[in-house]
Structure 1
Amino acid sequence: MRIETPRLSLRPVNPSDTDDLFKIYGDPATNTFNPAGPYPDIDYAKTVLNRWLTHWQTHGFGNWAISLLDNPKKIIGFGGLSIHSYDGLVINNLGYRFSTEAWGKGLATEFAACAIKYGFDQIKLAEISAVVRKNHLASQKVLHKTGLSYIREIHDVKDTPPSLLYTLTFNEWLANSQ
């Protein structure tokens, strides 16, 4: 099942995405705000990808491979909705990461808006949340633009300063999209 936005093509991840996943998540630049750092090796990327594939099988939704409509074979990012537990709180997590060549073009906002619409329209989630580092202002801007609001600090990576939890409820989304 492929989803399209004005500029993006999204498809569920598949086992052949390991190299692209490692290329993007193993890049120190894309991990500037990630205290856990880049993926250490291709085997770690395989483990994560297998977890994502299992999430799709278990829940019927998860992470997509993201490409530009005009170049659908080249993956420029990954993102989606998944169930995560942070600091003892279970959330419907909106997450994404794009290659550096995709930065600064509004693609993350376009993706996030699409994922949120999908989460509320198709999956029928009651709320969608995201976790972002305090110093990651670009990602906070994406969350604000797509309707999420800061709720509180949350401890997501052991022995590091807390991140920020943003949330949007279905009713808030519905009121803002009318």
Structure 2
Amino acid sequence: MRDWRHVRTDRLRLDRPVQDDLADLHRIHADPDSWAHFPQGRHLDLDRTRQTLSQSEVDWARGLGYWSVRDSAAGPVVGMAGCTVAGEEPWWNLYYRFDSSVRGRGYAAEAAGAALEAARDVAPDRPVLAYLLEINVASRRTAEKVGLSLVWSGPDAGNDDPDAVRLVYLDREPDDAIRAALDVRFTPRPTV
């Protein structure tokens, strides 16, 4: 297995996040434009971004996590991307979020491609999943560009917008166990 803490693609530097990345990561995650399709996900305070950075340390200790993304050696962090396993989920979660100043350059697909390669190296039997909102066309294009296929759609449980539709993409055809896990994770439950 390869050491995935530091990866170079054609245009990007993907590195395990460090504390010095906190301000840049917060700027990206606090930007309302970055959360236009899911406003409730926005980081309203620095502590939330600190939690993200702390979780990253846990994820990397388990073998793989999200990277801080730069497009130059001395430049600021322009995004966060990669794969992690959330809790006990039977899949890798593919994530990509970029500063609005660099969107439209194909960075998300480039980082996502590296993340897929890393996940398949670390645990090839674990599928790679991306979940996103139907209205986020750019994120859908990225998932499809790196070879993921739509395997589930339905109401987005817990979303402030009752009309929101969640889409789930996977890098392979789901088996029965993965389908059951998808239904448990993404199907809204009635409130009592």
Q: TM-score, normalised by structure 1?
A: 0.84
CA distance in 1, matches of 2:134, 2:159: 15
Q: 1:90 to 1:162 in 2, by over 3 A?
A: farther
CA distance in 1, matches of 2:81, 2:39: 19
Letter in 2 for 1:6: D
Helix, strand or coil at the partner of 1:79 = strand
Q: Which has the greater radius of gyration?
A: 2
1:154 and 1:121 map into 2 onto residues whose CA distance is 31
Does 1:61 find its partner at 2:34?
no
Query: How has the CA–CA distance of structure 1 residues 159 and 78 changed in structure 2, closer, same or farther, with 3 Å as cutoff?
Result: closer
Identify, as 1 or 2, the structure richer in strand: 1
Query: Secondary structure of 1:49's match?
Result: helix
Shift of 1:18: 1.5
Percent identical among aligned pairs is 26
Whether contact under 8 Å (2:130, 2:169) holds in the other structure is: yes
Partner residue, 1:105: 105
Could you say which residue in structure 2 is the equivalent of 1:164?
167
What aligned pairs does 1:135-150 form with structure 2 within 5 A after superposition? 135-150=135-150
1:12 matched to 2:16:
yes
Contact 2:149/2:169 (CA < 8 Å) preserved in 1?
A: yes
CA–CA distance in structure 2, aligned partners of residues 125 and 101 of structure 1? 36
Structure 2 letter corresponding to 1:2:
H
Matched residue type, 1:66: V
- 1:21 pairs with 2:33: no
1: distance between equivalents of 2:156 and 2:125? 22
1:48 to 40, 52, 62: 52
Distance in 2 between residues matched to 1:156 and 1:118, nearest whole Å:
28
Match of 2:188 in 1: none
| 2:77 aligned partner | 75
Deviation, 1:153, is 2.1
Cα distance change on mapping 1:29 and 1:64 into 2, 3 Å: same
User: Tell me, which stretches of 5 or more residues in structure 1 are unaligned?
Assistant: 171-178
Gaps of 5+ in 2: 174-192
Going from structure 1 to structure 2, the CA distance change for 1:21 and 1:48 (only over 3 Å counts) comes to same
Q: Which moved more, 1:90-99 or 1:120-129?
A: 120-129
Which residue does 1:38 correspond to in 2? 42
Runs of 4+ in structure 1 displaced over 6 angstroms?
A: none
